[in-house]
Amino acid sequence: MQIPFLDIYITDATVITIVTVILFIINFLLAGGLVFLERRSAQSVWAWILVLFFLPIVGFILYMLFGRTIYRQDLFKLDEDDKVGLEHLVSEQLEEIKHNRLTFSNAVAEKHKKQIHMLLYNNQSFVTSNNDVTTFTDMNNKFAQMLKDIENAEDHIHFQYYIFKLDNIGKELYRALLKKQKEGVSVRILYDDIGSRSLSLRNFSDIRDAGGLVEAFFPSKLPLINPRINNRNHRKIVVIDGKIGYIGGANVGDEYLGRDPKMGAWRDTHLRIEGNAVKSLQLRFMLDWNSHDTRNNMKHEDHYFPEIDSVGETTMQIASSGPDEDYQQIKYGYLKMIYRAQHTIHIQSPYFIPDQSIMEAIRIAILSGVKVKIMIPSFPDHPFVYWATYSNVASLMKMGAEVYMYQPGFLHQKVFIIDDEVVSVGTTNVDNRSFILNFEVNAFMYDDEEAVKHRKIFEEDIKHCEILTAEKYEKRGLWIKMKEGLANLISPIL
């Protein structure tokens, strides 16, 4: 090709070279602007640099889908009246802790005031002490009780899940919610658009026609593509009449009841709470709901936050975290627990891909004589994630941690216990995805009875585990070693 008025000829190869150079420059500028100008760990920066430069253009598309940072802005907001009430409660409790006026009936909560202060100050997680907690390790029992509570609902049902499948248990819950909506009980359903990708608002037409409200979190306006695919609302929250709350690891689907032959006897942990901690769950649901339904915003109304007589003695905080936050709130809670531990640390998580801060804290605990026990599944549901998990727990096993691999089915609960004193149960895995990318929620309980109960559950689970030994780990084949190496390389962005 000849350029007019110039005695210059451009070959097809030259055009390709020019285009390649231009695309490389654009990719370089975008990499610098998008990665270095956003807050993220050095590990994550280097991982994304590898992706962007080894996969030009394709890497940029992947970054736009999976790597962008969310800024708080107006995503989660409260009306001024609600905000004033929350800030007053938080500031009042902070002031009481500061002047040593906030006292607790149990010695464990008194002992762990610093952690309570941290979550209160940094996460506005107000502390409550009148809670009664029921723990479910069999999700058949959990959903059976939830259906009873739904049937007895008188005012409202707020239902939020990452995964909501309209299979057998899903349809049973759907029918129960529809029945209550027709009876005049207000029903709101919030599901994650990625986690529940088989759903659309059309699936809830009966409930919506009856007056119920349904929303998807970060819904996509593009078919088959969701620009927010990497930022998932992983929370599982149910609030009934402002008096009963559910929080834990299990979603809505038949596999969570052990009905999937591939996943086997599903092992999860979920809590049913009565007491003032339900107000925290209600507030979290309200914030999540208002972020996506501007026409039917929830207001701070008395029937959402009824007065609750003392029903129990468990002291707890409901902490939440997400990519909109400046701090990794729940990770900080885990770190504080690890550094506070004097005797034992028990961890159950399906995914164990922590950042350097968590790994170093656990190593320090082991070297300090703290007995560390970690339980993971014995087979993967996400291969790369599993092999990174396997490699991480093996490195701690070599230092003296006891690592157990659950055999009967998939282990999915997220439980963290220290010293038979503090226990955390919720949706947060021990990995960067939960700490940085997902929206999560956990209950931190400062109660020796609850901690001992969960430690005994852990010990019962050990009976169904195979212990990971150095001999077993060293016998892994070359193929597994290669998968571990690749998984570790990309673990900051898994």
Concerning whether 303 is annotated as a catalytic residue, the answer is no
Of the residues 241, 420, 431, 461, which is catalytic? 241
Concerning whether 149 is annotated as a catalytic residue, the answer is no
Tokens of 125: 């997680």
Concerning whether 412 is annotated as a catalytic residue, the answer is yes
Concerning whether 167 is annotated as a catalytic residue, the answer is no
Single out the residue of 278, 288, 152, 138 nearest to residue 213, CA to CA: 288
Concerning whether 148 is annotated as a catalytic residue, the answer is no
* 238 contacts 146 by C-beta, under 8 angstroms: yes
* 226 contacts 241 by C-beta, under 8 angstroms: no
* 410 contacts 385 by C-beta, under 8 angstroms: no
Single out the residue of 276, 342, 286 nearest to residue 315, CA to CA: 276
* 446 contacts 318 by C-beta, under 8 angstroms: no
Of the residues 156, 165, 279, 414, which is catalytic? 414
Of the residues 236, 243, 279, 346, which is catalytic? 236
- Cα distance between residue 12 and residue 477, in whole Å: 48
Tokens of 107: 């010695």
**Which residues, 6 or more positions from 347, have their beta carbon under 8 angstroms from its beta carbon?**
372, 373, 374, 375, 415, 416, 417, 430
* Beta bridge pairs of residue 301: none
Of the residues 156, 158, 165, 412, which is catalytic? 412
Concerning whether 326 is annotated as a catalytic residue, the answer is no
Of the residues 112, 156, 234, 270, which is catalytic? 234
Tokens of 320: 């939440």
Of the residues 268, 419, 420, 461, which is catalytic? 419
Q: Which 3 state secondary structure label does DSSP give 238?
A: strand
Give the residue numbers marked as catalytic. 234, 236, 241, 412, 414, 419
